[in-house]
Every structure is written in C-alpha cells, then in structure tokens.
Amino acid sequence: MILSVGFVTGLFAWCIFRVLRGPRDPQKLAHIEPIEESEADRR
Amino acid sequence: MSKPQEAWSSRLGVILAVAGSAVGLGNFLRFPGLAAQYGGGAFMIAYFVSLVVIGIPICWIEWTLGREGGRSGFHSTSGIFHVLIRRPWAKYLGVIGFVVPVSIYMYYVYIEAWCLGYAVNALTGRLSEPGVNFADFFAQFTGAGQDGVALKFGLQDVGIFLVAVFALNFYFIYRGISKGIELVCKYAMPALIVIAIIILARVLTLGTPDAAKPDQSVLNGLGFLWNPGEIGRGLLNPQLWLAAAGQIFFSLSVGFGVIITYASYLRKQDDIVLSGLTASAANEFCEVGLGGLITVPAAFVFLGAAGTSSAVASGSFGLGFNVLPEVFARMPGGQVFATIFFILLFLAAITSSLSMLQPGIAFLEEGLGIGRRASVALLGLITAVGTLFVWYFSKDLKALDTIDFWVGTLMLFVQATILIIIFGWVVGVEKGWKIAHEGAEMRIPNFFKFVIKFVTPAFLLAIFVMFTLRSVFGWNFSFADPVFDPTGYVRDLVGDSPNRVARMTMGLIIIMTVFTIVLVNIAGKVWGRAEKLGKETA
C-alpha cells in the first residue's frame, strides 16, 4: 500500500511541481527544449 | 479548415480537463473492487506494468496525434487521421472516434443523474432513514426492476436529475472549450480532490466503531484491500492481468477519442509530454491514492470481511449505490459524508461526460461545416434519442450494459489499436517522436520507442484476444481442458432465448455506426472541396 500510494502521490506531486514551475505566459510555452540534439541552436 | 480556432486558455486548464475526462466512477468504485478481489500485491504489479506499457504510451500518442491534427485545423479523430495519413480510407479509421464517445454518453449521463439524485436524497435525509432497503431504492430510482418505471420526475426518481444533467452538459458544451469545459474542470477537479481527502480523513479515523467486533477496524480494512497475498501465484493468473490492464485502459480514457480531440485545441508549440504525464498522474493519484483508500476500507469497517467480499462481487454499481449508502447510514455524520461522496461521484462523472460530447461536436462542426449552435442541436438530438432509449429500457440495466460492453469496451480496444498502429507504423516512431518533443518540457525516455513500436501493440493485442475469448466466447483459460461457453452478451443476441432489448440495443449501435460512416463520407467530400479550393487560391 505504501509503495503504490506513495508512488502515485509522488509522481503527481512531481508533475504538478514541474507544471507550476514552468513558463506562465502561454505564448512562451514553445521551444523550451530543442527537439533533437542537432537542433541545439534553437535553445 | 482555416477559420479561427478555439483553444485552451491555460496549460493547467487542459491538464485538468484531460484528468477530469479520465477520473470517473471507476476510480472510486471499480478500481478498489478489483484490487480487493485479486489481492493488493500481484494486482498492483500487473497494474503498474500495464500503466507503463499501455496507459502512458497511448496517452502520449493521443496527445501527439491530436496536437499535430490541430495544427492543420482538424479536431475530430476522422479529420486528424485524414490529414495525417492523406489516404481516402484514412478518415474511416476515425469512425469509432465518434461512435464511442457519443454512444457512451447516452448511458453515462444516466449514471451521472444517479449520482446527483443520490446526493440530493442523501442531503434530504432519505438515505439515512431507518429501515431503508437500498437495493429496492436503487431498483426504483434507476428503473432496474422494470422497463419504463424510471420515467418519473419525483425526488426519488431519476427523471428530474437526468433532464437537469443532460441540459447542464449541453449548456457547458455550447459555451465552448475554454469557457465551458475548461471552466468546469478548473473548479470541479480541485473540488473533487478536496472532497475525496475529507472523506478519506473520515474513513481513516473510523477506528473500530463496534467494540463487539474488534476485527472490523480501519487497519484491517486497509489490509483487506492492500495485503500482498501470494504475489507469485497471483501473477500467473491471466484473469488478474486482464483485470489490471483493462482497468488501466478504461481508467485513463485511452481510445475514447477524447484525449486526441482535447489535444487538438493546444497551441502549435505547447508542451504535450509533461502535460500528458501530469494528466495521467492526476488520474492515478485519484484512483490509487484516494479511491483505493476510501470505499473498500469503509465497507469493511461496517460490513466485515464477508460483507465486503459480497459487496465487491456485486460490481461497481452494487458497491456504489447499494452498499456504500448503507455504510454511510451506519457511520457517525453519515448524512453529510454520503452527500459529499455522491457530489464527488457527480463531479467525477460530469467532467467525463463533457469530454464525451466534444469529439462529436468537433466532428459535426468540421465534417458538415456547420456552426456551434447547429452542431450542439444535432448532437443533442442524437444523444437524447439514445439516452431516452437507455432510460426507458432500464430493466436489469440491459440497454446500458449492452452498449457498455460492445461499444464502451470492445470498440475501445479497436480504437486504441488503430491509434498505436498509426503512430508506430504509419507516421513512424522516429517522426512521431520528433513531433511529440516539439515544445516539450521533458524528454520521453528512449526505451519507449521500442515499447510503442513493439511492446504496446503486442500487449494490447494479447489483452484484446484474451478479453474476447473470455468475455465473448466464455473460454475457461484452460489449454488442457478448454471449455467455450458464450457469455450472456452473446446469448442475448443469438441462440435459443435472445433478449429483445439487447437485440434492439445492438440495432441502435449498428444504426449509429452506419450513420457515422455516412457522415464521414460527407465530411471527406467537404474536406476535399476545401483542399481543392485552397490549392486553387494558392
């Protein structure tokens, strides 16, 4: 129980933290990370 | 498809909308029942394997294909397949993407009305009155006892609640993506989680309410569901894998045509990897973290091991609408907790039912070239006919059950298989991978390329074949002494004593499918003319 509940709670908390910490302006959501290494100049 | 498009107003909004679509009655009723039935240890291992192999990959696929289709101005499954594959037959692969959500809505809104009705009856104290026979109340309220008896409009009948929730759904759908669906989910999902946590706190502090029955404690209730049991032996049970994979599959709303439509309203470079994972994680938190700790332990405390076993065996409806009202009636403060529990179920249901309408609206708008008002009116008419059918033919919930099995279960598998084959083999994993990571805030681990291309389709196919052999042909899972005894779903349609309502329901499903194929054909001509015009203009 502890493993299952702990895992899903931890995953959910981590995801929400990442989302809330992310860019707030919806217009700037794009191009946060380049698609491929060869496109690193887009960083 | 160059007219101004609707879009989500915020990233959290779309995540909550997708999570709201996924979080439904199954999270709080079906999951704990299955976990208790198969034993917490082995079942959870199979459950998490299925989450990684089927659930999350197909979610990412739907988000990716949806956003890519939306970039070209398409929001329906048919339209998205049409623009991605560019073959005349491609749009027909999306027929199920219309039939499934619209057909499921026809009975799901009926169940949603039960939730609201039970919340109101709990609030008025009807469910707390001494001597209430909850099985009789359920049969009368839902019309499960006889056809036609549910067509009444008192407070203890489903009618008034059904009309109210049906109208409410279409009101919000008419308001659109951001002012309708997103607005509802932004308030309903946090409210749902808060209510679930309040009920969870109540359940975990129940202790041992009856000193004469010291075994019936909340700790033993948690153990009843979560104690690992014989893990090795459990994992060798094919039915356990079938149950776990099926729960993941249905719980995450994959194959419904919902996620792909919702994702098509994203902006061109919005993140989908983290958003998709977050929506899945929210569903898992509600299912395992909340649903897994509330219903079964609460039932155990008041009904004991034997009572809870029979409650679990009675299925989701039996547990939710017969057993839990009785549990709340015995609980200190039960009237309040019963009210908010059924409000919780109602919120879970309405965020799901709204999501079932949007694929239909999107298809009618872009396929027939009609506006929001006309598409809402047309879909309202189609679903009203189906819901009226389910409402009238309520005896043994036969119409509801028949649609749920043939459309809400079998067709879902087919749609999910189509999605994974299109992503992995038609679009191609490498190209799909690149599309998925445009604007991404995190990377999908590379081993998922192999999983998506080979493991997920094979696993899905294995589960689908097992499910069909078991639930359609009634195989006993024995190679040494195989027995095939077709299930009631088949015997209701063919054989010595077919069921009239089941046959009529199958007729309704066939009419619906043929009607959709005709609409897709018309849509193809509309899209062809638009593309031709576009080329000439260019």
pTM, two decimals, is 0.91
A22 interaction partners in chain B (CB closer than 8 Å): 11, 271, 274, 441
- CA distances (Å), B49 to each of A21, B57, B459, B467, in order? 29, 12, 11, 18
Nearest CA in chain B to A1: B226
In tens, the pLDDT along B225-247 reads 888 878 888 888 888 888 898 89
Nearest CA in chain A to B51: A8
- Exposure of B81 in the CB half-sphere (CA atoms within 13 A): 28
SS3 label, residue B493: coil
One-letter amino acid at B219 equals L
In tens, the pLDDT along B474-523 reads 998 888 899 999 999 999 999 888 999 999 999 999 999 999 999 999 99
Q: What is the pLDDT of residue B533?
A: 87
The mean per-residue pLDDT over the stretch B182-211 comes to 93
Cα maximum dimension of chain B:
84
What count of residues does chain A have?
Answer: 43
Cβ(B401)–Cβ(B407) under 8 Å?
A: no
Q: Do A29 and B438 touch (CB under 8 A)?
A: no
Cβ(B484)–Cβ(B475) under 8 Å?
A: yes
- Is the pLDDT confidence value at B49 over 50? yes
With cut-offs at 50, 70 and 90, classify the pLDDT of residue B3: low
Higher pLDDT, A26 or B348: B348
Partners of B475 in beta bridges: B484
Q: Do B277 and A15 touch (CB under 8 A)?
A: yes
Q: What is the pLDDT of residue B120?
A: 97
The mean per-residue pLDDT over the stretch B86-95 comes to 94
- Is the pLDDT confidence value at B335 over 90? yes
One-letter amino acid at B512 equals M
Q: What is the pLDDT of residue A37?
A: 45
- Is the pLDDT confidence value at B440 over 80? yes
Q: Do B288 and A5 touch (CB under 8 A)?
A: yes
In tens, the pLDDT along B312-329 reads 888 889 889 998 999 999
B182 interaction partners in chain A (CB closer than 8 Å): none
Q: Do B222 and A22 touch (CB under 8 A)?
A: no
B15 interaction partners in chain A (CB closer than 8 Å): 19
Extract long-range pairs of B518-522: CB within 8 Å, 24+ residues apart: B519/B98, B519/B363, B519/B364, B519/B367, B519/B368, B520/B78, B520/B91, B520/B92, B520/B94, B520/B95, B520/B98, B520/B367, B522/B367, B522/B368
Q: What is the pLDDT of residue B243?
A: 87
B226 at interface of A, judged by CB pairs closer than 8 A = yes
Q: Do B289 and A29 touch (CB under 8 A)?
A: no
B289 interaction partners in chain A (CB closer than 8 Å): 5, 8-9, 12
With cut-offs at 50, 70 and 90, classify the pLDDT of residue B426: very high
B197 at interface of A, judged by CB pairs closer than 8 A = no
With a CB cutoff of 8 Å and minimum separation 6, the contacts of B154 are B160
- Exposure string for B94-119, b = 16+ CB within 10 A, e = fewer: bbbbbbbbbbbbbbbbbbbbbbbbbb
B271 interaction partners in chain A (CB closer than 8 Å): 22, 29, 32
- CA distances (Å), A29 to each of A19, B11, B274, B329, B441, in order? 11, 9, 12, 50, 9
Closest to A32 (Cβ–Cβ): which among B9, B288, B439? Answer: B439
B259-278 residues touching A, CB cutoff 8 A: 267-271, 274-275, 277-278
A8 interaction partners in chain B (CB closer than 8 Å): 281, 284-285, 287-289
Cβ(B27)–Cβ(B348) under 8 Å?
A: yes
Q: What is the pLDDT of residue B128?
A: 87
B213 at interface of A, judged by CB pairs closer than 8 A = no
The beta strand positions in B28-94, using DSSP E, are: none
Which of A20, A31, A35 should one mutate to test binding to chain B, selecting the residue with the greatest count of B CBs within 10 A?
A: A35
Residue A37 CA, distance from chain mean position:
18
In tens, the pLDDT along B368-415 reads 999 999 999 999 999 999 999 999 999 999 999 999 999 988 888 899
Q: Do B282 and A12 touch (CB under 8 A)?
A: yes
The mean per-residue pLDDT over the stretch B113-137 comes to 93
Q: Do A32 and B271 touch (CB under 8 A)?
A: yes
Q: Nearest to residue B249, comparing CAs of B63, B487, B408?
A: B408
A10 interaction partners in chain B (CB closer than 8 Å): none
Closest to B284 (Cβ–Cβ): which among A11, A22, A26? Answer: A11
In tens, the pLDDT along A1-43 reads 889 999 999 999 999 999 998 776 554 444 444 444 454 444 3
SS3 label, residue B27: helix
* Percent of chain B residues topping a pLDDT of 90: 72
B517 at interface of A, judged by CB pairs closer than 8 A = no
Interface pTM, i.e. ipTM:
0.89
- Exposure of B190 in the CB half-sphere (CA atoms within 13 A): 8
Extract long-range pairs of A23-27: CB within 8 Å, 24+ residues apart: A26/B9, A26/B10, A26/B11, A26/B267, A26/B270
**Which DSSP symbol is given to B484?**
B
Task: Give the dihedral of Cα atoms B370, B375, B379, B382; nearest 10 deg.
Answer: -40
DSSP B114-182: HHHHHHHHHHTTGGGSTT--HHHHHHHHHTTTSTTTT---STTSSHHHHHHHHHHHHHHHHH-IIIIII
Q: What is the pLDDT of residue A29?
A: 45
- Is the pLDDT confidence value at B52 over 80? yes
Q: What is the pLDDT of residue B448?
A: 95
With cut-offs at 50, 70 and 90, classify the pLDDT of residue B282: very high
Q: What is the pLDDT of residue B6?
A: 82
Q: How many pairs of residues across A and B have Cβ atoms under 8 Å apart? A: 92
Q: What is the pLDDT of residue A35?
A: 44
Rg of chain A (C-alpha set): 15
Average pLDDT for chain B: 92
B290 at interface of A, judged by CB pairs closer than 8 A = no
Most confident of B327-336, B352-361, B470-479, B490-499: B352-361
The 3-class SS string of B192-222 reads HHHHHHHHHHHHHCCCCCCCCCCCCCHHHHH
Whole-angstrom distance, CA of residue B41 vs CA of residue B46: 9
Of B93-97, B186-190, B472-476, the one with minimum mean pLDDT is B472-476
B289 at interface of A, judged by CB pairs closer than 8 A = yes
Rg of chain B (C-alpha set): 23
Closest to B267 (Cβ–Cβ): which among A20, A29, A35? Answer: A29
Closest to A29 (Cβ–Cβ): which among B270, B277, B287? Answer: B270
Q: Do B289 and A5 touch (CB under 8 A)?
A: yes
Q: Do A29 and B281 touch (CB under 8 A)?
A: no
Q: Do B289 and A18 touch (CB under 8 A)?
A: no
